Amino acid sequence: MKGSSERCKRATYFFSLLTFALRLNIMFYFFYGQNTFAINEKVREIEQRFLSGSGTEYSLIRLQGATLTQSQYSEAIFGLGFFSDKKLVEIKGALADSSDQNLKKFISETLPKISDSVVVIFIEDGEPDKRGALYKLLNQPKRSQRFPLPEGVALRHWIKGRVESLGGQIDPRAVARLEQFLGFDFWRLNSEIQKLVLYCRARENLIIKSEDVDELVHPETTLSVFELTDALGAGNIKRAFAALKTLTTQGEDEIKVFSLIVSHFRTLLIVSDLSKKGMTEREIPSSAAVHPYVVKKALVSLRLMAPERLCYIYHSLARTDLSIKTGAVDPATALDLLLATIGKSSAIIDKN
């Protein structure tokens, strides 16, 4: 009965804070999700509106949740401005990066007391813990927005729209090529699209072709490693050798390529173990200390790979590592032998 009463009191207290904050129309935003590029654009948009109004650079305050203290938060939110009462305060990682529970409680308790001349933006890269009181307080309609990573048709639509917003045009095959080369790396996608549009404008032909992408854009190393490891997992050694050639022609030396492959398969084993323990795609990144995009790709790879093959490949990597370190074989030959050995074993595993 006592525990139930305490929970009831906490719930009543939380909803009273929420009702009070909404009734006073406190101006705050809560942006979170894996698409950090889109979050950054949204924040810059609000900054521009603020600065074009009555705000100044001195009234724009950025705080990091990992190092934020209660006194710093109070000074930023409630302290007097130098040149204006208007302030825009951006707080990044108050939920995920801060372990200070007293700070989170203080933010929750003081949120309703914020002046209407202050705008606060709470920013979280990735998916925050939704069980906390602060998350529940911030996650309100018209105040919060989740930014997931678009994929498939949505990703291709974004690429096309980005090109057109810069005054260019793009062939569908070039869109597919950019998706293949860069995946969800929106920061680099944006940079490469700008480069491609300028290139096409200089030659007076605004349509970006797949040949232009091949000539000007280097594939993301991580994606090439995924291509290689997926091919190994599927037993497609021809595709694995092609991916290896792509990596080496990008200028990656064999030792680094091997290290990337080892690291990737280690990640696959960790993600596989956590998934078997019942963790979801959103929970695994924080436990495994792996980027959410890598977890997403790893889970797709694991669905296409037999567990026996994963274990065999990892043991093969250990043997290859030993042969390289002892000088029994040079790194380039070791990689070729590794792929050939895995290809031969894949046929045996498939038969069994």
The count of C-alpha atoms lying within 13 angstroms of the C-alpha of 129, restricted to the half-sphere facing its C-beta, is 14
pLDDT for position 167: 92
Give me the residues of the chain with pLDDT under 50, please. Answer: 13-17, 20-24, 347-352
pLDDT for position 346: 56
CA distance 232 to 239: 8
Of the CATH numbers 3.40.50.720, 3.30.70.270, 3.40.50.300, 3.40.190.10, which one belongs to the domain with range 8-146?
Answer: 3.40.50.300
Q: Kindly write down the DSSP assignment for every residue of 155-194, as one continuous string.
A: HHHHHHHHHHHTT-EE-HHHHHHHHHHHTT-HHHHHHHHH
Q: Is the pTM value of this prediction over 0.75?
A: no
Spatial neighbors of 191 by CB under 8 A, at least 6 apart, are: none
Spatial neighbors of 144 by CB under 8 A, at least 6 apart, are: 29, 30, 31, 32, 138
The alpha carbon of 36 is separated from its chain's Cα centroid by a whole number of angstroms, namely 6
Closest CA to 208 of 197, 194, 217: 197
State the residue for tokens 């998350």. Answer: 135
> Over the stretch 121-168, which tens digit does the pLDDT of each residue have?
999 988 888 888 899 899 988 899 999 888 789 999 999 999 999 999
The domain segmentation of the chain, as residue ranges, is 8-146, 153-216, 221-351
- CATH architecture assignment, domain 153-216: Orthogonal Bundle (1.10)
Q: Which residues pair with 169 in a beta bridge?
A: 207
Task: Using alpha carbons, list the distances in angstroms from residue 32 to 14, 48, 53, 59, 215.
Answer: 21, 20, 26, 23, 35
pLDDT for position 20: 46
pLDDT for position 86: 84
What topology does CATH give the domain 221-351?
Zinc Finger, Delta Prime; domain 3 (1.20.272)
Is 66 within 8 Å of 93 (Cβ atoms)?
A: yes
CA distance 51 to 59: 9
C-beta neighbour count of 261 within 10 angstroms:
22
pLDDT for position 292: 76
> Over the stretch 305-343, which tens digit does the pLDDT of each residue have?
878 888 888 888 999 999 999 988 898 899 888 888 877
pLDDT for position 2: 53
3 state DSSP class of 218: coil
Q: Is the dihedral of CA 294, 296, 301, 307 positive or negative?
A: positive
